[in-house]
Amino acid sequence: MVTARVHLVLAEPDPLGVDGKPRVAAQAAVLLKVRPASTPLREADVQKLVAGSVAGLLPEAVAVVVTPTAEAPLQRTPALASVGPLQVDPASRKLLLIALLGGLAVIAALAVLLFLTLVALVWSARRTERDPRLRTQRGEERTQRSDRTSICPPCPPLRRRERAGRPRTIAGTTSRSPGRPTQEVTGGGRTRP
Protein backbone atom coordinates (compact mmCIF):
# COMPACT_ATOMS: atom_id res chain seq x y z
CA MET A 1 0.00 0.00 0.00
CA VAL A 2 1.29 3.46 -0.90
CA THR A 3 -1.35 5.78 0.62
CA ALA A 4 -4.74 5.52 2.29
CA ARG A 5 -7.23 8.38 2.71
CA VAL A 6 -10.48 8.18 4.70
CA HIS A 7 -13.32 10.76 4.66
CA LEU A 8 -15.95 10.51 7.41
CA VAL A 9 -19.43 11.98 7.80
CA LEU A 10 -20.47 11.49 11.42
CA ALA A 11 -24.08 10.93 12.46
CA GLU A 12 -25.90 14.14 13.33
CA PRO A 13 -28.76 13.69 15.80
CA ASP A 14 -32.07 15.38 15.06
CA PRO A 15 -32.96 17.59 18.06
CA LEU A 16 -36.65 17.71 17.05
CA GLY A 17 -36.96 14.04 16.15
CA VAL A 18 -39.26 11.85 18.24
CA ASP A 19 -37.98 8.45 17.22
CA GLY A 20 -34.27 9.21 18.03
CA LYS A 21 -33.08 8.52 14.49
CA PRO A 22 -30.19 10.73 13.31
CA ARG A 23 -30.98 13.43 10.78
CA VAL A 24 -27.89 12.43 8.76
CA ALA A 25 -26.59 8.87 8.95
CA ALA A 26 -22.85 8.17 9.36
CA GLN A 27 -20.97 7.52 6.12
CA ALA A 28 -17.36 6.96 5.04
CA ALA A 29 -15.29 6.90 1.86
CA VAL A 30 -11.89 5.20 1.63
CA LEU A 31 -9.34 5.74 -1.17
CA LEU A 32 -6.47 3.24 -1.28
CA LYS A 33 -3.46 3.54 -3.59
CA VAL A 34 -1.62 0.24 -3.84
CA ARG A 35 1.36 -1.13 -5.74
CA PRO A 36 0.48 -3.49 -8.53
CA ALA A 37 2.66 -6.29 -7.16
CA SER A 38 1.17 -6.19 -3.63
CA THR A 39 -1.48 -8.57 -2.33
CA PRO A 40 -4.95 -7.21 -2.97
CA LEU A 41 -7.10 -6.07 -0.06
CA ARG A 42 -10.68 -7.17 0.15
CA GLU A 43 -13.25 -4.39 0.28
CA ALA A 44 -15.22 -6.17 3.00
CA ASP A 45 -12.18 -6.19 5.31
CA VAL A 46 -11.61 -2.45 4.82
CA GLN A 47 -15.35 -1.74 5.38
CA LYS A 48 -15.33 -3.69 8.66
CA LEU A 49 -12.15 -1.96 9.83
CA VAL A 50 -13.51 1.56 9.22
CA ALA A 51 -17.05 0.80 10.49
CA GLY A 52 -15.66 -0.68 13.70
CA SER A 53 -13.76 2.50 14.52
CA VAL A 54 -16.71 4.95 14.18
CA ALA A 55 -19.78 4.74 16.42
CA GLY A 56 -23.04 4.32 14.49
CA LEU A 57 -21.35 3.53 11.16
CA LEU A 58 -22.54 0.44 9.33
CA PRO A 59 -20.14 -1.50 7.03
CA GLU A 60 -22.56 -1.01 4.11
CA ALA A 61 -22.20 2.81 4.45
CA VAL A 62 -18.45 2.62 3.75
CA ALA A 63 -17.40 3.08 0.10
CA VAL A 64 -13.95 1.68 -0.81
CA VAL A 65 -11.98 2.61 -3.94
CA VAL A 66 -8.72 0.77 -4.68
CA THR A 67 -6.42 2.17 -7.40
CA PRO A 68 -3.07 0.80 -8.50
CA THR A 69 -0.23 3.31 -8.68
CA ALA A 70 3.31 3.29 -9.95
CA GLU A 71 6.17 2.93 -7.55
CA ALA A 72 7.11 6.21 -5.99
CA PRO A 73 10.67 7.14 -6.87
CA LEU A 74 13.01 7.21 -3.91
CA GLN A 75 14.10 10.72 -3.13
CA ARG A 76 17.74 11.04 -2.30
CA THR A 77 18.62 13.46 0.43
CA PRO A 78 21.18 16.02 -0.70
CA ALA A 79 24.64 15.76 0.81
CA LEU A 80 25.18 18.30 3.57
CA ALA A 81 28.37 20.10 4.49
CA SER A 82 29.25 20.68 8.11
CA VAL A 83 30.28 24.01 9.59
CA GLY A 84 31.09 23.30 13.21
CA PRO A 85 27.96 21.78 14.76
CA LEU A 86 25.75 22.95 11.85
CA GLN A 87 24.79 20.97 8.77
CA VAL A 88 24.23 23.24 5.75
CA ASP A 89 23.82 23.04 2.01
CA PRO A 90 27.25 22.88 0.33
CA ALA A 91 26.47 26.00 -1.74
CA SER A 92 25.86 28.13 1.38
CA ARG A 93 28.83 26.80 3.37
CA LYS A 94 31.30 29.37 2.00
CA LEU A 95 28.97 32.32 2.70
CA LEU A 96 28.32 31.10 6.24
CA LEU A 97 32.06 30.76 6.94
CA ILE A 98 32.70 34.29 5.66
CA ALA A 99 29.92 35.68 7.87
CA LEU A 100 31.20 33.82 10.96
CA LEU A 101 34.81 34.90 10.44
CA GLY A 102 33.74 38.51 9.79
CA GLY A 103 31.74 38.54 13.03
CA LEU A 104 34.69 37.14 14.97
CA ALA A 105 36.98 39.79 13.46
CA VAL A 106 34.63 42.59 14.55
CA ILE A 107 34.45 41.18 18.10
CA ALA A 108 38.25 40.90 18.25
CA ALA A 109 38.68 44.50 17.03
CA LEU A 110 36.27 45.76 19.70
CA ALA A 111 38.13 43.82 22.40
CA VAL A 112 41.49 45.33 21.32
CA LEU A 113 39.96 48.83 21.29
CA LEU A 114 38.56 48.34 24.81
CA PHE A 115 41.94 47.08 26.05
CA LEU A 116 43.78 50.08 24.56
CA THR A 117 41.28 52.48 26.13
CA LEU A 118 41.81 50.93 29.57
CA VAL A 119 45.60 51.10 29.16
CA ALA A 120 45.36 54.80 28.22
CA LEU A 121 43.21 55.56 31.28
CA VAL A 122 45.58 53.77 33.66
CA TRP A 123 48.60 55.49 32.10
CA SER A 124 46.94 58.92 32.42
CA ALA A 125 46.05 58.31 36.08
CA ARG A 126 49.61 57.22 36.93
CA ARG A 127 51.09 60.18 35.08
CA THR A 128 48.87 62.56 37.06
CA GLU A 129 49.95 60.98 40.35
CA ARG A 130 53.65 61.34 39.52
CA ASP A 131 53.65 64.89 38.17
CA PRO A 132 52.61 67.50 40.81
CA ARG A 133 52.13 70.18 38.15
CA LEU A 134 49.39 68.14 36.49
CA ARG A 135 47.70 67.59 39.84
CA THR A 136 47.55 71.31 40.62
CA GLN A 137 46.47 72.21 37.08
CA ARG A 138 43.65 69.72 37.20
CA GLY A 139 42.68 70.84 40.70
CA GLU A 140 42.48 74.46 39.51
CA GLU A 141 40.40 73.42 36.51
CA ARG A 142 37.99 71.59 38.79
CA THR A 143 37.71 74.61 41.08
CA GLN A 144 37.04 76.93 38.16
CA ARG A 145 34.42 74.56 36.78
CA SER A 146 32.69 74.25 40.14
CA ASP A 147 32.66 78.05 40.54
CA ARG A 148 31.06 78.45 37.14
CA THR A 149 28.46 75.79 37.68
CA SER A 150 27.43 76.59 41.26
CA ILE A 151 24.00 78.10 41.77
CA CYS A 152 24.63 79.97 45.01
CA PRO A 153 27.64 82.15 45.80
CA PRO A 154 30.37 80.40 47.75
CA CYS A 155 29.91 80.39 51.51
CA PRO A 156 32.35 82.48 53.57
CA PRO A 157 35.08 80.39 55.17
CA LEU A 158 34.61 79.51 58.81
CA ARG A 159 36.92 81.07 61.35
CA ARG A 160 39.32 78.81 63.11
CA ARG A 161 37.79 79.41 66.51
CA GLU A 162 34.32 78.43 65.30
CA ARG A 163 35.70 75.28 63.75
CA ALA A 164 37.61 74.43 66.92
CA GLY A 165 34.40 74.31 68.93
CA ARG A 166 34.69 77.59 70.81
CA PRO A 167 31.58 78.62 72.68
CA ARG A 168 29.23 80.98 70.89
CA THR A 169 26.59 83.11 72.46
CA ILE A 170 23.30 84.01 70.97
CA ALA A 171 21.05 86.56 72.69
CA GLY A 172 22.27 85.96 76.22
CA THR A 173 22.60 82.15 76.11
CA THR A 174 25.71 80.09 76.41
CA SER A 175 26.73 77.13 74.29
CA ARG A 176 29.77 75.05 74.90
CA SER A 177 31.77 72.36 73.25
CA PRO A 178 32.03 68.95 74.84
CA GLY A 179 34.75 68.81 77.46
CA ARG A 180 34.84 72.59 78.13
CA PRO A 181 33.33 74.38 81.12
CA THR A 182 30.29 76.55 80.62
CA GLN A 183 31.04 80.25 80.27
CA GLU A 184 28.71 82.99 81.16
CA VAL A 185 27.83 85.66 78.68
CA THR A 186 27.63 89.27 79.64
CA GLY A 187 26.30 91.93 77.40
CA GLY A 188 25.20 89.57 74.62
CA GLY A 189 28.71 89.42 73.16
CA ARG A 190 31.30 86.81 73.00
CA THR A 191 33.34 85.86 76.06
CA ARG A 192 36.94 85.01 76.00
CA PRO A 193 38.41 82.17 77.97
- Along the chain (193 residues), what's the average pLDDT of each consecutive run of 10 residues? 87 77 84 81 88 88 88 70 84 90 96 96 84 62 53 53 52 52 52 51
pTM, entire model? 0.36
pLDDT for position 89: 87
- Concatenating the DSSP letter of every residue in the chain gives --EEEEEEE--EE-TT-SS--EEE--EEEEEEEE-TTSPPPPHHHHHHHHHHHSTT--GGGEEEEEEE-PPPPPPPPPP-EEETTEEE-HHHHHHHHHHHHHHHHHHHHHHHHHHHHHHHHHHHHHHHHH-HHHHHHHHHHHHHHHHHH-SSPPPPPPPHHHHTT---EETTEE---TTS-----STTS----
| pLDDT number for residue 105 | 96
